[in-house]
């Protein structure tokens, strides 16, 4: 069985190399010749733990190849996966032009029975439209169009593919189901649940899953605000409710709001498509608004902790990607928070273990530094924005010696408060009883707000 994967982004490249790892002959296709050339030389277009080694191993074994020739690559494939981008337009609707363009090219290239599989995140009804486009372009094409949404977390994508908590197949016919069941048989043999359903259910399930997880994040962030007001600890609250099996402990970590390539796009896409069907998703609409507001409120928190006026002050920002172990800057809270700090007059020095290249193209006027100690040099305020393991293990005394001020703002609750106080910092975290709970300009002066104070204050 031969597999063609159209698109070499997170989903396409990871899925393609994992299919090769399972033993299938796989070709990954992309129109960008420089990406294909780089992949053939072992240069990865994305940062994902273990990806470079897995690509090298399967490329050497001849199980994976890379090409710009869609027609030639698709011609003898048993299954063709579409894994192209579906960015949001200004109204939140996914742009499906790349999906339909791929469908038209596939239609003119397939020979014999072929299963075309939407792996891109698409709204309900897209599979039916892709089938219409293919058969309109080539009425003789012997093709079924299926849905096989991905559930991969950036930074853990290979593990999620090879050891999935479920594989979801939305198929229009038993024949298509048999092909996909064969492809995923190696994972079934390992005990992975494989759910076969109608195409529309699979399409909705992807959007619904990400919207629900985004809701959990937004919910615990709002609980954190209440904890700060009431003298509670959000970490304890999250543990208490997360032990309920009906709730679960994942995605209950308070912070500066969700970001990345999936949650912002998929929540907006889910809400907009639902409106098209006359089924408004009021909960998801509220989540989208609350998450956007969260980022600005975290910027306000930093400004207020810095004394309310950052003119002439330096802020060290540690972590720029939306999460650790990725280079992805898309919709990262830093893209709101850093410009807001600059708007309030701050000079920003920043360091991120994995995102410096992408960040330098998306953030202007920032001094990008070689390490966390360099970023902290002469800083009046140090902000931990992304929870990279490197930051959790850093020497706070050394950071304090490099900084000019003694304010540490931890938006990920990485540290034990006493550890920070012992290093000489005034400490602000999220949702803890003695942390500062800045929620807007109506909250009064900073002197009236609770905080962790450095020894001697």
State yes or no: 121 annotated in a binding site. yes
Is 151 part of any known ligand binding site? Answer: yes
Q: Is 448 annotated as a binding residue?
A: no
Just list the catalytic residues.
Answer: 262
Annotated ligand binding at 59? The verdict is no
How far is the C-alpha of 125 from the C-alpha of 95, rounded, in Å?
14
Which residues, listed in sequence order, are joined to residue 351 by a DSSP beta bridge? 318
Residues 6 or more apart whose CB falls under 8 angstroms from that of 85 comprise: 7, 9, 98, 120
Kind of pairing, strands 25-29 and 2-6? parallel
HSE, CB side, 13 Å, CA atoms: give it for residue 385. 34
Across the strands, what pairs with 452?
427
Could you tell me the sign of the dihedral formed by the alpha carbons of 445, 448, 452, 453, in that order?
positive
C-alpha span between 248 and 353 (Å, rounded): 30
Element (H, E) at 170: strand 167-170
- Each residue of 232-258: b (16+ CB within 10 Å) or e? bbbbebbeebbeeeeeeeebbbbbbbb
| 255 assigned binding-site residue | yes
DSSP string spanning 20-59? HHTT-EEEEE-S-HHHHHHHHTT--SS--TTHHHHHHHHH
Compute the CA torsion angle 389, 392, 398, 403 (nearest 10 deg): 100
Q: Does the annotation list 253 as a binding residue?
A: yes
**Any alpha helices (H) in 231-308, and if so which ranges?**
234-242, 263-276, 282-305
Q: Is 35 annotated as a binding residue?
A: yes
* CA pair distance 292, 378, nearest whole angstrom: 31
Whether residue 110 contacts residue 82, with contact meaning beta carbons closer than 8 Å, is answered with no
- DSSP string across 336-390: HHHHHHHHTT-EEEEE-TTTHHHHHHH--S-EE-SSHHHHHTT-SEEEE-S--HH
Q: Is 152 annotated as a binding residue?
A: yes
Tokens 């894994």 correspond to what residue? 83
Residue 265 counted as an annotated binding residue: yes
User: Residue 323 annotated as binding?
Assistant: yes
| DSSP designation for 442 | G
Separation between Cα atoms, residue 125 and residue 203, nearest integer Å = 8
Contacts for 227 with CB less than 8 Å, ≥ 6 apart: 233, 234, 237, 431, 432, 433
State how far the Cα of 381 lies from the Cα of 314, in Å rounded to an integer.
7
Residue ranges for the binding site for NAD(+)? Answer: 30, 35, 86, 121, 154, 265, 330
Q: Which residues are annotated as a binding site?
A: 30, 35, 86, 121, 151-154, 206, 251-255, 259, 265, 323, 330
Extract the annotated binding site for substrate: 151-154, 206, 251-255, 259, 323
């Amino acid at each position: 069985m031969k597999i063609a994967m159209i698109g070499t982004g997170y989903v396409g490249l990871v899925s393609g190399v994992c299919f090769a790892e399972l033993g299938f002959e796989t070709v990954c296709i992309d129109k960008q010749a420089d990406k294909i050339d780089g992949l053939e030389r072992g240069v990865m277009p994305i940062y994902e733990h273990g990806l470079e080694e897995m690509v090298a191993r399967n490329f050497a074994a001849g199980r994976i190849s890379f090409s710009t020739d869609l027609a030639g690559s698709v011609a003898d494939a048993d299954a063709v996966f579409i894994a192209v981008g579906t960015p949001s337009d200004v109204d939140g609707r996914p742009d499906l032009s790349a999906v339909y363009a791929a469908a038209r090219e596939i239609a003119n290239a397939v020979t014999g029975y072929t299963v075309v599989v939407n792996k891109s995140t698409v709204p309900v009804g897209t599979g039916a439209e892709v089938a219409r486009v293919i058969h309109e372009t080539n009425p003789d094409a012997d093709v079924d169009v299926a849905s096989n949404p991905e559930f991969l977390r950036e930074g853990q994508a290979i593990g999620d593919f090879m050891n999935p908590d479920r594989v979801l197949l939305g198929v229009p016919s038993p024949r298509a189901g048999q092909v996909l069941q064969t492809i995923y048989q190696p994972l079934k043999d390992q005990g992975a649940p494989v759910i076969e359903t109608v195409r529309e259910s699979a399409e909705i399930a992807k959007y619904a899953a990400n919207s629900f997880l985004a809701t959990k994040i937004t919910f615990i962030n709002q609980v954190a605000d209440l904890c700060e007001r009431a003298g509670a600890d959000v970490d304890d609250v999250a543990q208490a409710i997360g032990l309920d099996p009906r709730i679960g402990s994942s995605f209950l970590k308070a912070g500066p709001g969700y970001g990345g390539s999936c949650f912002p796009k998929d929540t907006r896409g889910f809400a907009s498509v639902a409106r098209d069907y006359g089924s408004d998703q009021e909960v998801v609409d509220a989540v989208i608004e609350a998450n956007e507001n969260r980022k600005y409120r975290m910027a306000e928190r930093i400004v207020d902790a810095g004394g309310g006026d950052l003119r002439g002050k330096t802020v060290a920002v540690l972590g720029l990607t939306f999460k650790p172990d990725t280079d992805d800057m898309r919709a990262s809270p830093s893209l709101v928070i850093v410009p807001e700090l600059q708007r309030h007059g701050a000079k920003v020095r920043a360091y991120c273990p994995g995102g410096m290249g992408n960040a330098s193209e998306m953030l202007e006027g920032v001094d990008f530094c070689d390490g966390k100690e360099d970023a902290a040099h002469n800083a009046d305020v140090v902000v931990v924005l992304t929870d990279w393991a490197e930051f959790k293990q850093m020497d706070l005394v050394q950071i304090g010696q490099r900084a000019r001020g003694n304010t540490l703002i931890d938006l990920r609750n990485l540290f034990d408060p006493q550890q920070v106080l012992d290093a000489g910092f005034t400490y602000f975290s999220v949702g803890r009883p003695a942390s500062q709970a800045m929620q807007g300009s109506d909250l009064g002066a900073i002197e009236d707000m609770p905080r962790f104070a450095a020894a001697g204050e």
